[in-house]
Structure 1
Amino acid sequence: MGAAFQLVVDCGEAEVMARFWAGALGYEFALAPEGFATWKDFYRRLGVPEEELGDGVDRIRDPEGRGPDIWFHVVPEGKVVKNRWHLDIHASGDWSDPIEARIQRVDAEAARLAELGATITGAFEEGLDHYAVGMKDPEGNEFDIN
């Protein structure tokens, strides 16, 4: 059995990122652990200094339990270089579907995520039968829709 893990994303504005990625991935806001009214209360219990406690939502979870929990960790420094890894969001359907239908689905998902706050960086085709759209989330982290 694989190890349990959560994805941690360093960011400047946790709630903005949590709201964007919850909408992008179909996730929901994670509830604070049992016995704590808020995540802030939980962090205080762990000894996190008051000045490091953020406000608002900073964790999301897959309501179906398939994907990892994601914590948006506020850090003082901003993003300065290209990601060393990125998410690919699969929206095109099955590879055996006609390429025209897959392109339509990818473009529709890219437009939806742009409305949530992402930036479209460009479409690209690899070979005769692959189409994807490059994007950036609200803080500039790269990801693809394919």
Structure 2
Amino acid sequence: MTTDWTITIDCLDVRALRAFWMLALGYVERPPPSGWDSWEDWMAAQGVPEDEWHDGAYLADPEGRLPGLSLLRVPEPKTAKNRVHLDLQVSGGRSVEPALREERIRAKVAELVAAGGTVAWESPGAAGLDHVTVRDPEGNELCVV
């Protein structure tokens, strides 16, 4: 039996990273639990202090197929390279003509940079651009492949 899982990113600014990762993944805010009109209503019922209501965000695949992404406010900034990262697979894979793959990769990278990301480095492959490593607004790495 498999185990349900999500990925959690620790961050300083939940709102900034929520906007960035919603754009990066095409995700939406996860709706509140069944029977609740809002996350605030649910948190109040759970006894979560109001000053903690915006310490996290929960993003979901709108099609319900892929794992969720959680953002959790922490007091310290990122200090080292990620040991785990996401690969945004936008190019269509190596069976796609190299110029088209590169066009798709660069288009997604441009969206992410406009949303506050920065290009860390580009990695060429045998037939052209293989992937671009991007950092989100707080420096977490992801690859656009």
Which residue of structure 2 aligns with residue 43 of structure 1?
43
Matches within 5 A, 1:1-146: 1-54=1-54, 58-128=57-127, 131-146=130-145
Contact 2:122 2:129 in 1 (8 A): no
Q: TM-score, normalised by structure 1?
A: 0.87
Quick one: distance in 1 between partners of 2:46 and 2:126?
A: 51
Q: 1:10 to 1:40 in 2, by over 3 A?
A: farther
AA aligned opposite 2:101: R
Contact 2:6 2:69 in 1 (8 A): yes
Range with greater deviation from structure 2 (62-71 or 37-46): 37-46
Range with greater deviation from structure 2 (75-84 or 41-50): 41-50
Gaps of 5+ in 1: none
3-state SS in 2 of match to 1:71:
strand
Q: TM-score, normalised by structure 2?
A: 0.88
Gaps of 5+ in 2: none
Identity across the alignment (%): 36
Range with greater deviation from structure 2 (28-37 or 83-92): 28-37
3-state SS in 2 of match to 1:73:
strand
Alpha-carbon deviations, 1:79-133, whole Å to 9, x = none?
A: 1111111011011113112212211111111111111221111211144466111
Range with greater deviation from structure 2 (113-122 or 42-51): 42-51
Q: What CA RMSD, in Å, does the superposition of the two structures yield over aligned residues?
A: 2.0
